[in-house]
Amino acid sequence: MQKKLIVLPLLLLGICFNTLGQRQSVDVQHYGISLTVRDNTDKITATAEITLRFLNELPELRLDLVGPAIADTGMTVLKVTEKVSAGRSAAAKPGAPYNIKNIPFRQDSAALYLSVNGRKDETHTYRIEYAGIPGDGLIISKNKYGKRTFFTDNWPDRAHHWLPCIDHPSDKAAVDFDVITPDKYTVVANGLKTQDVLTGNHQRRTHYTEKALLPTKIFAIGIAGFAVDHSADVQGIPVYSYVFPENKKQGFADYGKAGEILRFFIQQIGPYPYKKLANIQSKTIYGGMENAGAIFYSEESVGSRDIEELLAHEIAHQWFGDAITETGWEHVWLSEGFATYMTHLYMEHTYGTDTLKTGLKADRKKVIAFEKKRYTPVVDTSAKDRYTQLLNANSYQKGGWVLHMLRRQVGDSLFWKGIRSYFATYGGHNANTSDFRKVMEKESGQNLDDFFRQWLYMPGMPELSIRPGGEGKFIITQQQEPLFTFPLEYAIDNDPRIYKVQIKDKVTVINIHANHTIRIDPQINLLFMYGRDM
């Protein structure tokens, strides 16, 4: 996701009240979402068929769903049913005779509760019929050209404003979308399109199937008048651009850069995890939103001078954040820090090392500025349910810097070997910071405990003062507490050679010939504050 200056109403910031115990009690296998939208009302009618396995005994199933409020806002559940085998109260098998069983339920402002009496290891499918006007999560509005549009915008946990679900990144499921719209619209969603037909009465029915397991934060439905371009095929993956017709020429040119970006990441990381890549101009409140295989970009993205970096950031997310999803919000750097650094690596590959250095210097300034406002570690457990505050320079730029320093510590070859192994191990699943560390330790043969502890679990960074000590000496002092351990590179005058000293104490003295000056971190390989930065 690319950040965008946004002001979120309070209802967005504390919207998922699902308990850890509930998430550990069920595992959603599949969502079948049927959705009807209209032009004469913002009210949607929908059905969600949710197939899940009970991991423990559970008398009552809690699903995240914003309940009904005034003037049809919020979701009103109309009916909940289950197919059960004829003659006994158990889940019906496909093709077997079945009866429809009504499931008792209740709602409050944040959740839907089903009386299920679930037994461990049983799999059930519940069909929930509901309707209402989404207060968020499914944005029904007009684009900058005054045309009506419908776009999901679920990050971080806003899906349950329009969909009953387990609205947490740790629960991943396959999904089917069956969408009925006025026939003037084009529909795009996660997965492959398996049906697109006119049904009469000026309506269109479109079906998409996504078999890969996704968290709800990256479920995507986009409904608008689109111009569509099939811009490339990369190793069998079709690449599409969906833009507003008024932006067709510029939008196709801008989004058309996606093919080469996709090719680079496949080569460096591993197979692309989805069956298509669609880049979509949208009404997302973010600069970009990395929905799996159906990336949403802000409507102002077309014509942006930073469009190539924006595309690279969101496409990198397809591996990091989408295929490998963080186990909890405190590990969001595994998504945003990775996308930030992978963007730098793509730009380095395309435009040279100086581009990487320029990007890292700009990122370092952002991290320093953020630290002066908020002193907190990258793995931040203080956010509680206000997850949008994690969209900060720690998760993005400092997370990217950690990867850069890790790359320099283990070397390019072992760094990429570790990245590929991390994706191969956790693609399609969830991972946390410790999981990533263990993979990198295995592939590099190094103990990285101290590296991860100080850069990710401790707040701050080295704050250095460097002064002459007489007779060709320079005194380097760490001014922060606690102390960091790190290699410091330096150069002498205009000598192209790079020297390195290991810093671990409060004070370190380096010796050079008299009457010389030194340049600290000439290759831009260390995250630190120095002199005027402090």
Average pLDDT (280-298) is 98
CATH number among 3.40.630.10, 3.40.50.300, 1.10.390.10, 3.30.380.10, domain 325-457: 1.10.390.10
Looking at every residue in the chain, the average pLDDT score rounds to 93
Average pLDDT (380-391) is 89
SS3 125: strand
Task: Please say if the pLDDT value at position 16 is more than 50.
Answer: no
pLDDT in tens, 478-493: 999 999 999 999 999 8
279 near 226, Cβ under 8 Å?
Answer: no
pLDDT in tens, 422-473: 999 999 999 999 999 999 999 999 999 999 999 999 999 999 999 888 778 8
Class of domain 226-321: mainly alpha
Angle at alpha carbon of residue 56, lines to 55 and 62, rounded to 5°: 85
The domain made up of 1-212 is a member of CATH 2.60.40.1730: yes
Max CA pair span of the chain: 95
Task: Please say if the pLDDT value at position 18 is more than 50.
Answer: no
Identify which has the larger pLDDT, 163 or 91: 163
CA–CA separation, 111 vs 154, rounded Å? Answer: 16
pLDDT in tens, 119-161: 999 999 999 999 999 999 999 999 999 999 999 999 999 999 9
Class of domain 463-533: mainly beta
Task: Please say if the pLDDT value at position 51 is more than 90.
Answer: yes
CA–CA separation, 231 vs 240, rounded Å? Answer: 6
SS3 155: coil
Q: Which amino acid is at 275?
A: K
pLDDT, residue 22, reads: 57
Give the Å distances, CA to CA, from 270 to 128, 276, 342, 388: 38, 15, 13, 30
pLDDT, residue 480, reads: 95
* Residues sharing a CB contact under 8 Å with residue 221, sequence separation 6 or more, in sequence order: 35, 138, 150, 151, 152, 177, 179, 187, 188, 189
CA–CA separation, 287 vs 283, rounded Å? Answer: 10
pLDDT, residue 495, reads: 85
The ranges assigned to domains in the chain are 1-212, 226-321, 325-457, 463-533
pLDDT band at 404 (very low <50, low <70, confident <90, very high): very high
Identify which has the larger pLDDT, 71 or 191: 191
pLDDT in tens, 368-385: 999 999 999 999 999 877
Domains 1-212 and 463-533 share a fold: yes
Task: Please say if the pLDDT value at position 300 is more than 70.
Answer: yes
SS3 295: strand
Tokens of 367: 């991290």
CA–CA separation, 63 vs 111, rounded Å? Answer: 6
pLDDT in tens, 75-129: 999 999 998 877 555 677 776 777 999 999 999 999 999 999 999 999 999 999 9
What count of other Cβ atoms lies within 10 Å of the Cβ of residue 153? 21
pLDDT in tens, 324-353: 999 999 999 999 999 999 999 999 999 999
pLDDT more than 70, % of the chain: 94
pLDDT, residue 17, reads: 39
pLDDT band at 257 (very low <50, low <70, confident <90, very high): very high
Task: Please say if the pLDDT value at position 290 is more than 80.
Answer: yes
Which secondary-structure segment (H or E) carries 412? Answer: helix 412-426
Q: Which amino acid is at 326?
A: E
274 near 261, Cβ under 8 Å?
Answer: no
- With CA atoms as reference, report the closest residue to 461 among 524, 381, 367, 393: 367
Tokens of 144: 């900058």
Identify which has the larger pLDDT, 20 or 521: 521
162 near 152, Cβ under 8 Å?
Answer: yes
What count of other Cβ atoms lies within 10 Å of the Cβ of residue 501? 14
CA 520 to chain centre: 35
Torsion of CA 349, 355, 356, 361, to 10 degrees: -170
Which secondary-structure segment (H or E) carries 359? Answer: helix 353-373
In 374-398, where does DSSP find H-type helix? none
* Residues sharing a CB contact under 8 Å with residue 208, sequence separation 6 or more, in sequence order: 176, 177, 179, 187, 188, 189, 190, 191, 192, 193, 194
